[in-house]
Structures are given as structure tokens and as C-alpha cells.
Structure 1
Amino acid sequence: MFETDKTQHKDNDSNIDEWSDADEDELAKIDFFDNGCELSKFSLECDKLLSAEGTPLQRYRPKYLIVSDFVQQYWCEQQLLYRLSPEAYLLNVSPGVDVSIEESAESKEVKERGSDVHLARELEIQVPVEVEVITKEDAWAVKFLNIQTMILAFTKGHRVAREVPVFGVPFGSGFFVYGIIDELQYNPDLHTVEILELKTRKSCYPPRKSQQDKDAFQVGLYAEMFNDLVRGMVTREMVENHLKLTLDTPLSGGIQRHIHQQNKKVKMKIFTCGDILDMVLSQMQSFTCITKGTVEYVHQESRKQISTFPMTLDQEKLRSLFLKQCEWWRGERGTVGVDVEDCWKCSYCQFAPFCEWRAVKAAESKH
């Protein structure tokens, strides 16, 4: 049975695609100039702010990152920075000018509708159970139990699991990353696992290629993290060191009771977070690696399928993209906005009016 907790430790990895929820066929033309999209060499004012006060990793994600961080970065790195650091955006605003960085009511409504579709999918096969957590070890034990729920379900012959956490250090990057997969599909006859990522749309039309590319990147990163667990590349020491957990500390009473309720035959009386982690790391190695995935686009209002996008995972391409993103988090390069062919994205960005990247590229075009 699916586990959750009262503190809602989903780390904002909501899997709700705000960019695909707009009708891209009705985009207004943008007066956007570009003179190439080379990596910024710390020339932007926002990059100077970062270099003075610490790298993005140090400032915003000192312990671990979430998959959504990298997906947003893939969409527009400049936008991600502004979301993480509103003060970087305000550097471009003249004194006395009133600026709102709040999301529009329409954008919030779109996200809520998307969340409703995801919840309905989840409730088709599992009912969330609230488990009280007290310590950070409790919170992570719940995440590990959610993975074990998937493992036990597939072992019993179930073919679908939803809202499945994954974690690890992709491509040896040194960054601990956490995410939640929308759906895993298991074929017990072939012993194969595939990913299905659900994206909801306000529009009833399929998304642009750049949208599909972003979604494919997300699926690929999920698959890589799942496969690292299968390969045994995620270790107890890795988790303990990155998350600063005390793994041998007994879990709180609420977690203990829930474990025993779900596992009547267990002989242990007291469990630790490390016990749950060890079981999950061992059991995951019984699966095979994911090689295929599908992105499904669903219309929010009618909840009918718009289209599906099957994909074969390209590990080398994913590695190159991911490691290039890691350079920014480490402070090894400056921030990069969208290229000219993707300037339509700015129509839906709340930071477009005072975006430094747009202003700089427009100025460059005049020289």
C-alpha cells in the first residue's frame, strides 16, 4: 500500500508540467534578438551575485537536488535561477518600479487541475496512508518504504506502480538527486520495467518538439537513477553521507507500527532507517534496467489522452546534458537562457519583463 506522511516530503517534485499546460498554437510573437547561445562567462549581473555569495548548489541545494531542478534548468536556466533567487531578478528592476513575482491565478489553477489528474491516476491503484513522521530519518524511511511497496507489488504479480521514489548520484556527478516517477509498468513474463510519465495540458493539442525533448530528458534521468539502484551503484554510505542521516537511530513509533501492520510476519521488533534502506537497496537488484519509456499527454478538462511519445533511452546524450548542467550548480560557468528558436517560451515566463538574458542578447544584436 502506498505510504505518505503528514509533512508531505515530495520536495516540490510534483511532476506537473506548467509549460505544457498552455496552448502553444496561440503564442504571440516576441521581439527577441539572439546573437548565438554560447555559455555565459559570468558576465551577467546575476552571475556576479552568485559568485559573491556562493555557488547555486551551496546557496539553494546544500544537501540534495530534485529531478525538477534539472528539468526546469533544461527548459530555461535563467528562469530557474530567478525562481530560486528572486533577488537576482530584482537586480534588473529600476528603483521605484513595482514588480510582482507571484504566479498568476491562471497558472496556479492550471497546476491544481494537473494535480487533480495525477491524484486520480494514483487512486486508481492505491490509497495514500498518512504516517506521522518526527525526525528526518522518519521522513526518508517513508520514501524508502514507498520504493519497497513497488517492489512487493511487482513480486506479487501487479503490473503497475505509481508515485515511486528514486534516488542516487547520476553519472558519478557527486550530486545526490531525488525524484518521484509517475508510473512504472512491469512485465513479469519478460521481466522488464518501463516508465510512463504523465503530462497534463490545458490545450487539446500535442506539444512542440522542445516540450517533448524536455519530457524525454526527465524520463531519461528517472530511468538512469532507477538503473543505478538496479546495478547496485547506490550504497548505504552514499545515502548517509549526502543526506547526513543517522541510519542506526530507531524510527519513531508511528513508523514502527505501520511497518508491523503491513508486515505481520516480520520478526524484528525495532527498525531503523538503515534497516529499511538496506532492504530496498538489496531488493532493487532483482530487477532489470529500464531501456524504454513513454510520455503520455492528457487534456486536463476532458481527461482524454491527446498523444503518447514513446522513447528509447540515450544514456550518452543524457550524460552529456546532465554533466553540463552540473557545471552551473558548481559555479563553473555562468547562467544561460533560451536560444532564439525557443524564445516563445518567454511568453509564459513571469520573469520575461526584466529578464537580464533577454536584455543582453537584444543589446548584442545591435552591435
Structure 2
Amino acid sequence: MANPVIPSLTAEGLASEYGSDLDFGVPALSDYGSDFDNEEEALLRDLLAQIATNERRNAPQSTETHSVEGDNDAEQSTIVHVSPLPAVARVANSTAGIELFPNRRTQPIEVEYDGYSRDSWSVPRSHPTRQEQRTNPSMPTELIENDTQSPLQRFRTKPKKPLSVTDLVSPAWCELQYWYNLNKFGRKPQTPAMKQGSKVHKVLEEQVHKIVPILVESKEDRFGLRIWNTIQGLRTLRETGMTRELEIWGIVDGEVVNGVIDEVSYTCPDSGYGEALEQSKAPKIGGTRSPGQSSILQSFANDDIGVGGWVSADTSTRTTYIADVKTRGVKAVPVGASLKPTWMQLMVYRKLLKGLALNTVDAETVFARYGVLPLEPFTEQFICGASGIEQMTELEPDEEDPPDFRRASEISIHNNLSALWSLMISEFALSMKLFSDILRAEFRYAKTGEIIGNKMLVYSDKQIDEYLASEMKWWKGLREAKGVEIEDAYKCRVCPFADECTWRRMKIQEATEKYRLKAAARPKSAV
């Protein structure tokens, strides 16, 4: 079978392999600008249905209180190889029949900002919601002083969602600012610039995926759809050399962490940069690896990939590259300290991705955190929906192309979360045997989607391990949040919490006292 036709990307220069001029003719009703995501809408529907049931019974029932953020289960997509583009299955609205939801990201869009685009991160101040007025009547500083819970206990403990990669890397800009955001909003507030950035990501993803609705009935169905999406994303990677919006899970310091990688590919972003990096490593590791030599990942990978193992091309010598797409309000690539959150994000992605490829992520811990039963069978409705996608293909059965027609029964064979997770791990082993240390950040202009430029960094285990250890101490309440250092004080000019920031006041007092002492120590000139 011929590979699915993927639109070629025609941007000039280095970026030509990764992006194109984007068409922003998206429907006006796109959920990308909605104040509620799909999971929040599902929670509201559940609550309304529960209220109606309680009223009919005339007896109140105790229920578990869920975070309005939820786990974003309903926002996942399943990639299936059909012609001309792989299809994306969206969770349909079970209360109103099948509905085609616009494709949405599960993680907040990261918008890089600096002094030239400070409006991107202005916290909305006008027209506060009644919930904000009720739960946040006082200044964030008062909340911090009176609260003894750790950030993890307050904001990322069940029934609230688990930690995200965004939670781990946003404090790299300023921990105190993120702490204030959590206290005031419970998460990073979405701004108009972030909504525009979502449109850019949506257009990029739709270049390789097509959206199809699927009905789900249970939490296990919803989480199964997320795993299924990752499986199909890995297959898209093997067949086309690139996939987008790949959801991953990992465990950091005992806590489950979830993230979505913008782009994973087999294409080196800069061959000259890659060769120079390999040559610099050669003396340290005793030379470069010969073409036939097994990598560490190949040594650890299980040779028996089990039922459902599906290889469309030889990936044994392919190297995996990770990229993150950032949208900006100005046509300028950030520099210096502004890039730290981006670099930490890419390093966390690579660390989590490698953990899945090596099968070191404990599935039971992940399932327990999401409150799903690993051996609970998927519902017939979900199995039929996932299998029914195969009917969309116009291809006829062919002995040379069994994978496409075996996939319809795959979800029936792996009909619970435990089995589906095992299938996902086997797909990781097939897809990712070598990991490049080159990490790429692609910057696009938010208004048009055009590529502004690219920045690259070399991955460092030591650097990311030290960073995560420090951040987890803050999340677990083992230390207080820190503000920025004096050399990064420019960040305070774009911070909406500058007026009430305790760290800023403390630094001003320290500088004033230092100046006073220095002045007092100067010898007075004789008159």
C-alpha cells in the first residue's frame, strides 16, 4: 500500500522541512477560542445530569468533587492511516449524537514573550468571573501567607488533574508568577495571544491528520482513546517520518506527569550541527557507533513485540528528533533567559519519551493517578467506533498490506487499558531506538503562522535532572517559591503581579539597604 499522502511543507531555508505558510480560514465556531474545553463541558454535562437525577429522586446524593480543569480526556484524537490523510477520531458528544469537535491541544499553548510583546501575558483584569470573586477576594500574597498546603496538594492532587509538563517548566520564567497564577486562576490563564497560538497548532496538526468522531461511555474509554492516539501517532511517525501532537506520560519524583509533544520526526534539523555534535562526543565515548552496532535502546528493547506489532519501514537506524512550536506576537526570536522555559520543556519531553521507549514508566501508577481500572473492558460502543474508522478507507484488502485491515480488530484484542498500554510500549520500541541530543524550538508569528526562526540546544541529563529536582521541591512544599534574580528584573516589567509581589519588594529593600550601607561606608570628604 502506498503511504498516506502528507502535504509537503514549502517554507524556505532550514524551516522548509518543518512548516509552511498557514491558512487561517478556520471556522468561526472553533473551540480553540472557547472558555471551556471539552473535558470541562463533559464535567458540566455530568453535573447537570446528576442534578436532574437527584431532583427526580428528591434525595441528595454525595458525589466526588471534580476539578473544573479535569484531565482533558475528551480532547484526544486517534490517528488512523486512511487515504488521503490519516484520520483523527474525536470524542463525540454522547448526549447529542455524533458531533465533529474541532481538534484541540491538551496542554496550554506556550507563548514566548518579552518586553516587545508584553501584552501576550497580560492577565485579564476586567470583568472577573463570579467564581474568581468568590474564591479569590484577597490578594495572592495573603493567600500564600495563610496557606500551609504545598502547591502539589492544592492544585495537582486527585480529583484535580496530574502534573503537566507545563506545570514543570512554566516556573522557569518565574516561580512566584506561576504561584500567583495558580492561586488566582488554578492554572495559567488563556490570553487572546494564546488562543491565536492554538490556531497555529491546529492548522499544523490538520496538515497530517483528519478529524473523525468517536463515542465513548466510560473513563476507561476516554483514557483508552488517548493511548490509542499515541499508538497511531507512532505509526504515522514510522510511515511518514513525522508526527504531531504526540501525547506522553512519565513519572517524575513519584508524580505522574503528562505532556503533548508538538513534533517528533526522523529528520535532522541541521545536518552540519548534528555532525559537529557527534564529532565532539567521539573522543569521550571511544568513537562513533558503527552502522551495525546496536544502540542502548535496541539492547533494552524486547525482541518479542507481541500482537499488533506493525512496521511499515526499517526504523532500526533512524534517529528521533523532538521539536516544539512557539508562537510570538512579534517577528523576533527570543534570546537569553527568555528561552529557559522552552529548553527545559524540550528536555523534559525527551526524558519522558525515552522512559516510554525503554518501558520504565509504571503503567499501574499512571492508571491509579487517573482513577481508571486497567482490566476493565472497553465498552462495545467504543470498540465499534474505533473499529469502524477502518470502513472509511477506500482501499481493498491486499495480502501485501495486512496491517490496515488487521487494525479493525486490534482494539478488540487489546480491549482494556493494560493490554492497550502494552501495545503502545511495543510501538515505542519499534519507533524510537535512537534519540538525538539536538532539541529544536521553532518560532512562528502568531497572526500569520509564518516561521520567524529556529533555535537549537543540546540535551543534558545533568541539567534537566537538577532542574526537576529543584522544581519538585517547590511543588512538594519543601521550599518557597523564588522570584527572578536582579539580572532578570526586566521580567517584572511585564508581570501583572508586580505591584503585590513580595519577592520584588524584598529585592528593592535589599538593594536600598545595600546602597545605604555602601554610602555610609564611604569616607566623608573634608570641608
Q: How big is each residue's C-alpha offset from its partner over 1:29-48, in whole Å with a ceiling of 9 and x where there is no partner?
A: xxxxxxxxxxxxxxx86554
Is the CA contact (8 Å cut-off) linking 1:194 and 1:292 kept in structure 2? yes
Cα distance in 1 between the residues matched to 2:230 and 2:106: 18
Is the CA contact (8 Å cut-off) linking 1:250 and 1:270 kept in structure 2? no
Residue 213 (structure 1) aligned with residue 340 (structure 2): yes
Equivalent residue in structure 2 for 1:127, among 187, 210, 215: 210
- How far residue 347 of structure 1 moved from its aligned partner, in angstroms, is 2.7
Aligned to 2:170: 72
Residue 295 (structure 1) aligned with residue 381 (structure 2): no
Aligned to 2:249: 167
TM-score (ref. length: structure 2): 0.58
Is the CA contact (8 Å cut-off) linking 1:47 and 1:335 kept in structure 2? no
Q: Which moved more, 1:345-354 or 1:222-231?
A: 345-354
Cα distance in 1 between the residues matched to 2:152 and 2:465: 19
Equivalent residue in structure 1 for 2:352, among 208, 213, 225: 225
Is the CA contact (8 Å cut-off) linking 2:178 and 2:188 kept in structure 1? no
Cα distance in 1 between the residues matched to 2:374 and 2:118: 51
Cα distance in 2 between the residues matched to 1:76 and 1:21: 13
Cα distance in 1 between the residues matched to 2:412 and 2:106: 34
Cα distance in 2 between the residues matched to 1:17 and 1:333: 26
- How far residue 208 of structure 1 moved from its aligned partner, in angstroms, is 2.2
Residues 1:25 and 1:116: Cα distance change in structure 2 (over 3 Å): closer
- How far residue 270 of structure 1 moved from its aligned partner, in angstroms, is 7.5
Three-state SS of the structure 2 residue aligned to 1:366 is helix
Cα distance in 1 between the residues matched to 2:323 and 2:411: 36
Residues 1:87 and 1:314: Cα distance change in structure 2 (over 3 Å): closer
* Structure 1: stretches of 5+ with no match in the other structure: 27-43, 89-100
Is the CA contact (8 Å cut-off) linking 1:206 and 1:297 kept in structure 2? yes
Three-state SS of the structure 2 residue aligned to 1:117 is helix
Aligned to 1:55: 150
Equivalent residue in structure 2 for 1:195, among 319, 322, 333: 322
Equivalent residue in structure 2 for 1:312, among 435, 441, 458: 458
Equivalent residue in structure 2 for 1:151, among 228, 231, 234: 234
- How far residue 350 of structure 1 moved from its aligned partner, in angstroms, is 2.1
Counterpart residue type for residue 220 of structure 1: M
Is the CA contact (8 Å cut-off) linking 1:293 and 1:310 kept in structure 2? yes
Aligned to 1:137: 220
Is the CA contact (8 Å cut-off) linking 1:22 and 1:201 kept in structure 2? no
- How far residue 204 of structure 1 moved from its aligned partner, in angstroms, is 0.5
Aligned to 2:372: 245
- How far residue 293 of structure 1 moved from its aligned partner, in angstroms, is 1.8
Residues 1:102 and 1:327: Cα distance change in structure 2 (over 3 Å): closer
Q: Which moved more, 1:1-10 or 1:181-190?
A: 1-10
Residues 1:327 and 1:316: Cα distance change in structure 2 (over 3 Å): same
Q: Give the fraction of aligned pairs with identical amino acids, expressed as a percent.
A: 22
Counterpart residue type for residue 139 of structure 1: R
Structure index of larger Rg? 2
Aligned to 1:5: 91
- How far residue 135 of structure 1 moved from its aligned partner, in angstroms, is 2.8
Cα distance in 1 between the residues matched to 2:511 and 2:492: 18
Residues 1:203 and 1:60: Cα distance change in structure 2 (over 3 Å): same
- How far residue 75 of structure 1 moved from its aligned partner, in angstroms, is 1.2
Aligned to 1:98: none
Equivalent residue in structure 1 for 2:503, among 354, 357, 361: 357
Pairing 1:336-347 to 2, within 5 Å after superposition: 336-347=482-493
RMSD across aligned positions (CA): 2.9
Aligned to 1:274: 418
Cα distance in 2 between the residues matched to 1:353 and 1:19: 22
Residues 1:82 and 1:167: Cα distance change in structure 2 (over 3 Å): same
Cα distance in 2 between the residues matched to 1:136 and 1:318: 33
- How far residue 162 of structure 1 moved from its aligned partner, in angstroms, is 0.4
Is the CA contact (8 Å cut-off) linking 2:234 and 2:428 kept in structure 1? yes
TM-score (ref. length: structure 1): 0.81
Q: How big is each residue's C-alpha offset from its partner over 1:240-275, in whole Å with a ceiling of 9 and x where there is no partner?
A: 333332111122344212332342243836812222
Aligned to 2:387: 260
Aligned to 1:38: none
Cα distance in 1 between the residues matched to 2:427 and 2:188: 44
Counterpart residue type for residue 258 of structure 2: Y
The number of residue pairs the alignment matches comes to 330
Three-state SS of the structure 2 residue aligned to 1:294 is strand
Residue 186 (structure 1) aligned with residue 186 (structure 2): no
Aligned to 1:285: 429
Residue 328 (structure 1) aligned with residue 455 (structure 2): no
